[in-house]
Structure 1
């Protein structure tokens, strides 16, 4: 058993090293002014200093985070309500809901953005707003990941049985769903949300086509920086990864703290 565990740890370490190589190289590259030979020249943290003093970059970070929060929360609420209705009241319709939620897997970003523009640009309602179109497009893109994670979580806890047990104690279906089922599938919701964060943070096509340069996120800023300074672009990439890690760490910390509170209450 010890040999197997040591082998597993060694394999995991090799995989981690392999995955972290691009990030480590980007960090090293961003800390030098130029790298035209075998060794870099001019060690400096000027790239990071200039980025954190640039209001445009800070605004792009804020936009990226905001563009993650709104579509993810909206999609989670819609999927939760849809699965509640179909599972409890119309179980025969669940397969059709699943098909609809899986369709975005096959839609390319360019096709989606062009279709949205052609449909809503001439509209005089709020739907013609570029940011509204972008948020709606992100909801569509992340829908399969949110749906699949929540659906698997509901099946794991046997949602119907939990709701029936809560009804026997006098609770309504909707109350039992949000007070009993949702807290028990919070892990599935968190995992799905983290997948969605990675997808939105890595997007360039949708925001470029729908919002243009009027509301640039970190990916747009990275693309514009690559045209002028490659070392500074590496610093932008490192910060993007750092922000992603921070969001993931905060979410996992809140999840672990909630789990500890539950154990203490029991």
Structure 2
């Protein structure tokens, strides 16, 4: 597969053994989806590093692949650096709706003084948990600390795509569509700058969904862009979601036969 920033932007923060594992899997994979599944298999079946397990979990989250996350949880459920992601996934599946547990798990990792990038990763996990629990669960300090770290450390600016994507969803929940779209534009710019094709596709898809009531034509164009990106990554589930969104628009237009083929 061609290198994508979703994977390679973390290379500077990996130890040599972990990087060799990730690089080998990436070199042998056909596309991103293949990479994620093979990395998951290797960390579950072969001797590996804790950081490789973290990245296997991280990339399974990018794909929203709960089967992979369940497999990782069965083997590595007590590994502190992946527990925030596992707890968020569990809550999203309806097993445990207490997103505070994910925040607490991230705080535990932060309390151990991890490297700055991992500290930031935990803060982003906290913000994600706060978003899903919003407005019942929301702490502005997570966002503030994230922005402070990004301002001081330009080598971590690739996190902006996730930050702004989350903030756009929160603004949309608040009914502030203009602010939501401003955040999405910043998220798109960041993902493009860092060749983070996976998050680019997901942010573009979010924007397409947000503007369906305002500009159906533009929404269709954005869904096509997101679909092309997801298809190139081998992300069949993400691509299927794009087809579903396109089908909904066709149904609104009265194009029922086309809508049925998409949905």
State the TM bucket, normalised to the shorter chain. Answer: under 0.3
The TM-score with structure 1 as length reference comes to 0.23
The TM-score with structure 2 as length reference comes to 0.23
Higher relative contact order, chain-length normalized (CA < 8 Å, sep 6+): 1
